[in-house]
Structure 1
């Protein structure tokens, strides 16, 4: 007999039971499993073990056709071995009816006892092993007598082994109940084979191992079910190909054909509910709970539970909930057996069941997407609600899918225009061509100026995205001409929205439109619409790199008269963007702090993430790198991949990590950052530049140049070639210098300086000058770097000043002006230490040592001495978290948290946790509950502003 695979535990249990019985301590064992898992094979092994011990084996295999025949199972067991006198106990005239609950109908116990005594007489000649297979089909009288026997095995040489099929559809019998109720009787549950077991099983049956990977594919196809593996092994042997030469592709094809035949036969051996459950899981792909399965299949909860348990034990379902089929081949076989029409009906019933079970709109809508439209009244409202929720997440592709499905249902005639409107707006960034068609359909014949004003900017943006910018401008002009002088506020808002549309795709047309329509004339900022338009003009001027002073002037007027609470947050966001890149960092920080105030929850998630990222950028430039990293990480948590500002936010995290010296973490984020597809949006240029920095930090200079080339094309094509946004030429110049190409490096730096001087912000000019100064030598380098440092001395850009002073100190030392070098380097070291910029601090420290100075020891106490990990743990502790909760949230041990907190207390010179909040607040680390550190829930809202790096 072929050795059993992965049944060692079951065989040991059977051997133990038989050994105990044959020593006079009779006992019983119950084998429970679904069809095809090898119960009969285990009984055969038990028979072989019994015969090896010279025992007499009595076997019975029950079947449904004999379930109503009195004593049918007992006759199989005992007829060949009883005397004529004992056999008469089973004659027809002794037959009794099964119990009905009335005393007069109960079978006579003395007759059961007479059979028991007859069995005892047999056992005196040789030990007995009674093996009953498929006991779920045993007749009632046989089950009662075997249960009677099981209670009287102690002290006799009789072993009873009973195998029963779970979820067979047969009514529960007294025999199984009796064996389950006795804890001394072992219960065996043979499981599907593992991948290794499957390989061994097939090797045993084929006589040779399969080719590399083929056995794993067979396991994946069958779930390790022995019955299905038998069908597969038979099909493999018929191919005529030696097992070792069977390829993976060939194995999959064989499994497909074998399971198409064998799987229906296997399921038919169970109750109909098992096949129904398997088909339902096939239709739904994933079933989250029993109530859904029961309602979809129309069976009760206990039966559904038995069905999925049988499928799990058979290796056809992954253990749940949720439940899923274990292999694609099983799914294909069940799909072919059921047919698409049946599966579609099951999905429709599942959608109704989810509705009745109060599931979320997205869960119901996802199921409806897989069904055929049938016009049921309840479907369209559910799909619309799911689209609304998807828009708040935000998940535009899902929202679009739900809305398109709602239109196909179809909706009532009165609901169609609104659905087309929402769908068109949703498609502007996903499928602008389709958005044009849908929005035009809505606008045809629409006379309401309010509706037109709301929709035309979206249509104009879609037109611009499809390369029809002139058509977009004409559309905006026509609408502006229809707005009367008595409604200037609407006109201002239209102009602001039009500017944003044109800035997204064609900034040069935005300038032309402003000049032709005289949009910027006579704007005092006296109304919300004027202030929004002024903020949009400030943004346009910033993005196109025209003049920092002009951009800041627009921003000041936009912020001069704060309006009521309904003032658009975009007004402040656009103005803050202009102030940030005009080096008005303190004013920009004030704007962002307003945006991150108590009403931050009222803003949609994309805007919240953008506001946090902008505030992080300001903190970075002002030399607070730890706060920059904390804020940018929180912003990143609010921006799912594909969201408009996700590249920008990711770049802020990468830049902060690099300047803090966490280059390995920056590299991990670079490698996992969202990859595209990239549009013309400014945020991609920022991310490409940040990626280039990580490559440069790891000496991948040519790869860094490739990223910067993409960044350059992005900015030029988008019309955003302002070095205040992304100084990509300075980045590229440093890479070329490292590669020994000083000529190209200087060309890039000179070109950037010209653009920076046109823009006019001190930091942009100083950045270009610092790059040029590092390319120069001698007095030229000192002169250039001195100019850069002078520009930055009176600005809040402390991090840039530290970098410039370090370069100046090195240049001064190179020209043997040691005293001046030490002065510059000491200031640079103080600034770098204060900002937490470890690599820059180390560079300044070494340069200072090289001058012969004896600098003070690096900061060992105070807030700036905390490491990034210590800051994070301290902030969580100050927010009230206990050590174990902190350890869980950061995926570290509690001992690690305690270790870091001990260092925090020492460096901050405090006694313990109670003083943490005060100490951290003094250093401006935002506690976890502050507006700047919250992670509010996503919401939908107005179009996002075009803020930049």
Structure 2
């Protein structure tokens, strides 16, 4: 093995040992205990202390204990003192062993030529202990003595008694003592270590595993080459920074001849796996058996949050388990917890190889049973059961079914399928088997629509109407996704005919589910089905089923752009008697979505508060992701860009890669980042969102439009136009060509104008304006008018831009208003109307700065400069430096409201409150809330006439 005498990242420990040496040189006594798990570098520290002591002129005596010599009386003491006795001449030796120390002759019996070690197996303890102490004192009379004992936990009992005896008498000696003690050893709390720790000024050193940089330096020194980041990251995680394992790995790498470069990562992983397989058990065996048992159990379970669970599985008391966990954390082999887990899969593989597959399954089975008793979640228990052998236990079937349902709720059909397949293997009771099999068929068609035939069979064989009602929509969805939409509609109609007239609620729910399934692929098909079946007529919203259907129709109307007035009426009927505890949360989500896109922003904000107050956090992640995405869009339109960003990010986190609303959530994040001016982060988010194949769902079109905006900012006009054309193709073909969802024509029109094709650009802008007027929401019409104004000149441009601003001023869409006012101000200046231009541009600057829209604020500022005005940058301190949003938050905080209460009151994220409060404290020059109330009550000076207050609500 490579011998690396190194003390990397041990500055504090070396300072302590150096001070011990200095104290010893002065004739004082000093004590140090170096404690840690095996392999962490205790011996290297003692070796450094020994060398440093020698260099400074101390007499240094060393001993290294081992378990095999525990039966040798005074074995450690002999290692310490024998070299000094051997080195003495006959006269000096006689002097050393005279008087009280004479009985040491039973330990050291010199003859004419050498010192012979006594083999008397039963010396008298106390006389010899005292005699050996006197011998040490006499050695210290010649020069201060530094005694260093490595692995003191393995010292024989008589040596430990002698060291304990010595420790209590150090104040009257010129002897200093340093020991290295293994954490978690059987004698971890023996008298010696306890005595040393209580000594005044004792240096208790606990070296940690090496940091990533330290581990990289270690390996580079050993291998003689600079490591690439990917290589040293792999090595650090696989070793946990444990110096022993690093040294073993360095030795294996050198002997292998494999180039330690990124291109060889696969071969390096295989070598590291073999190295850990060999050396890790050796390291573990240097500890008590409980350490290896706990480590292996965590390797089997992958992640453990509860100490009680770990204790129950390994069959040890919690004190022993806690000790083992502490050892493994300090060794770098556990991530600090809870939860506890191994630093790298290769470490887990090495430990699992020691356990064996059969024992691993037994441990998982025991863990699953224990976790149920401790109140663990169905998902946690289900994950454990996936890797166990069937035992025919009913509780397992129930847990797996519950875990599968939770996975289906978050639209994770692959995981749900695994749970259900495992439940069938347990096996379930015959009465449950059919339902489990039917749900398995549902998960299959979502992961592989071609498996619809098996679900069709399950539907045909199911006699229970309620269960058929559960299966039919999934079969219809599979048929729609595989291009058999007409067959899906026929299936839904056939099942609707089976529903008795007395059960209209089931019919309403079926219609709603059918519409949603068809909307997944094509709102046009949904529209055809609604028209053909006269679905939705005569609904008043008096029942949950009616309200669900009304909300679904509001969504369909919004997507197809049939008229915001109609969408609002449907949404208001759905929400009129909406009762979150009994109504599906989707009812509220879809109805509020219609209000949002119809520019009913205040109503939408109020209803989102209602959803949050009635248990949104308990809903499946898929639904929460949709609602948070909509809240992000609402915050964006209100000009609260930081809340929009925070909410959008949370929505992306909730949506896994295969969930239908992830693209929509990512689009909200990109929009907010672009408005805030963070182009690199917007690029990263966009790239991540498009790592998955682009699907047919309508939520992809907003993401395509947002990527087009990003590419425009980056100057990639042709690529941006390609995204917009694809967005348009999808919307036109699907029948959901509502510019309120994704105004692709107006964005494309600007690019055509950039290329000099004003005719095409104007045509697209006018087409979108016609669609926008058909939809009828002010913001949508204003967006089209704004682009039309930018593509024309003279009175036509001013007319279009003025109308856009007038429309937006009737809404709370402050972000859109800021852009439109900036455009109008520039157009007015170009038309020679300087003073009106300056007034509009000052308004735009205030709006942009209030929203923290830095790129827009800069554009408005530069436009003002171009008019000859000398605008002052926004004040950076004092009450007048606060935006409207900051002022409102500061007032509420001064009144004593918590951050969470302020977030709920203003309908923003808690982290947004924290962000704004930090800015408030800085601008007002206060340390926190304590001085906020007094500062906010100071009399305000009037704002300068050329600095209008921000217009945020």
TM-score under structure 2 length normalisation: 0.76
Q: Which residue of 2 aligns with 1:721?
A: 737
**Secondary structure of the structure 1 residue equivalent to 2:35:** strand
Mapping of residues 862-881 of structure 1, within 5 Å: 866=883, 868-870=885-887, 873-874=890-891, 880-881=897-898
Q: Which residue of 2 aligns with 1:511?
A: 527
Would you say 1:664 and 2:677 are equivalent positions? yes
Shift of the alpha carbon at 1:383?
3.5
Q: Which residue of 1 aligns with 2:67?
A: 64
Would you say 1:381 and 2:398 are equivalent positions? yes
Mapping of residues 362-511 of structure 1, within 5 Å: 362-387=379-404, 401-420=418-437, 432=449, 436=452, 439-440=455-456, 442-511=458-527
Residues 611-644 of structure 1: CA deviation (Å, up to 9, x unaligned): 67657767877xx534x87578557646623454
Question: CA distance change for structure 1 residues 416 and 56 in 2, over 3 Å: closer, same or farther?
Answer: same
Shift of the alpha carbon at 1:138?
2.8
Matched-pair contact (CA < 8 Å) for 2:879–2:936 = no
**Secondary structure of the structure 2 residue equivalent to 1:351:** helix
Q: Distance in 2 between matches of 1:650 and 1:445?
A: 42
Q: Which residue of 1 aligns with 2:606?
A: 593
Matched-pair contact (CA < 8 Å) for 2:404–2:415 = yes
Would you say 1:705 and 2:718 are equivalent positions? no
Q: Distance in 2 between matches of 1:782 and 1:912?
A: 44
Matched-pair contact (CA < 8 Å) for 1:276–1:297 = yes
**Secondary structure of the structure 2 residue equivalent to 1:494:** helix
Residues 118-164 of structure 1: CA deviation (Å, up to 9, x unaligned): 44455556665555443323332332233223323444444444444
Moved more, 258-267 or 496-505: 258-267
TM-score under structure 1 length normalisation: 0.76
Shift of the alpha carbon at 1:859?
13
Q: Distance in 2 between matches of 1:204 and 1:807?
A: 62
Mapping of residues 56-135 of structure 1, within 5 Å: 60-77=63-80, 86-90=103-107, 109-121=126-138, 123=140, 130-135=147-152
Would you say 1:297 and 2:314 are equivalent positions? yes
Would you say 1:641 and 2:643 are equivalent positions? no
Return the structure number with greater relative CO, CA threshold 8 A, min gap 6.
1
Q: Distance in 1 between matches of 2:794 and 2:646?
A: 42
Shift of the alpha carbon at 1:422?
5.4
Matched-pair contact (CA < 8 Å) for 1:440–1:459 = yes
Q: 1:138 aligns with which of 138, 155, 180?
A: 155
Q: Distance in 2 between matches of 1:813 and 1:201?
A: 66
Q: Which residue of 2 aligns with 1:675?
A: 689
Q: Which residue of 1 aligns with 2:759?
A: 743
Q: 1:774 aligns with which of 790, 804, 826?
A: 790
Shift of the alpha carbon at 1:733?
0.3
Matched-pair contact (CA < 8 Å) for 1:375–1:410 = yes
Residues 925-947 of structure 1: CA deviation (Å, up to 9, x unaligned): 89xxxxxxxxxxxxxxxxxxxxx
Q: Distance in 2 between matches of 1:856 and 1:229?
A: 60
Would you say 1:692 and 2:715 are equivalent positions? no
Q: Distance in 2 between matches of 1:664 and 1:846?
A: 16
Q: Distance in 2 between matches of 1:290 and 1:381?
A: 26
Q: Distance in 2 between matches of 1:857 and 1:176?
A: 67
Q: Distance in 1 between matches of 2:312 and 2:580?
A: 52
Moved more, 479-488 or 862-871: 862-871
Matched-pair contact (CA < 8 Å) for 1:870–1:901 = no
Question: CA distance change for structure 1 residues 924 and 398 in 2, over 3 Å: closer, same or farther?
Answer: farther
**Secondary structure of the structure 1 residue equivalent to 2:427:** coil
Q: Distance in 1 between matches of 2:891 and 2:934?
A: 13
Moved more, 734-743 or 167-176: 167-176
Q: Distance in 1 between matches of 2:235 and 2:590?
A: 60
Shift of the alpha carbon at 1:732?
0.8
Q: Distance in 2 between matches of 1:857 and 1:16?
A: 57
Q: Which residue of 2 aligns with 1:5?
A: 7
Q: Distance in 1 between matches of 2:669 and 2:31?
A: 66
Shift of the alpha carbon at 1:226?
4.0
Q: Distance in 1 between matches of 2:4 and 2:590?
A: 78
Q: Distance in 2 between matches of 1:719 and 1:348?
A: 52
Q: Distance in 2 between matches of 1:239 and 1:319?
A: 33
Q: Distance in 2 between matches of 1:11 and 1:851?
A: 67
**Secondary structure of the structure 2 residue equivalent to 1:447:** coil
Question: CA distance change for structure 1 residues 298 and 866 in 2, over 3 Å: closer, same or farther?
Answer: same
Q: CA RMSD in A?
A: 5.4
Q: Distance in 1 between matches of 2:576 and 2:128?
A: 105
Question: CA distance change for structure 1 residues 671 and 710 in 2, over 3 Å: closer, same or farther?
Answer: farther
Shift of the alpha carbon at 1:507?
2.8
Q: Which residue of 1 aligns with 2:90?
A: none
Flag structure 2 segments of 5+ consecutive residues without an equivalent: 87-92, 110-117, 904-909, 927-931, 940-948
Residues 164-194 of structure 1: CA deviation (Å, up to 9, x unaligned): 4333445854333332332344344455455
Q: Which residue of 2 aligns with 1:35?
A: 38
Moved more, 10-19 or 178-187: 10-19
Q: Distance in 2 between matches of 1:87 and 1:784?
A: 109
Matched-pair contact (CA < 8 Å) for 2:552–2:587 = yes
**Secondary structure of the structure 1 residue equivalent to 2:742:** coil
Mapping of residues 17-32 of structure 1, within 5 Å: 17=20, 20-21=23-24, 24-26=27-29, 28-32=31-35
Q: Distance in 2 between matches of 1:499 and 1:48?
A: 81
Question: CA distance change for structure 1 residues 735 and 348 in 2, over 3 Å: closer, same or farther?
Answer: same
Q: Distance in 2 between matches of 1:695 and 1:171?
A: 63
Q: 1:308 aligns with which of 313, 325, 328?
A: 325
Q: Distance in 2 between matches of 1:415 and 1:620?
A: 48
Shift of the alpha carbon at 1:601?
1.1
Q: Distance in 1 between matches of 2:57 and 2:880?
A: 83
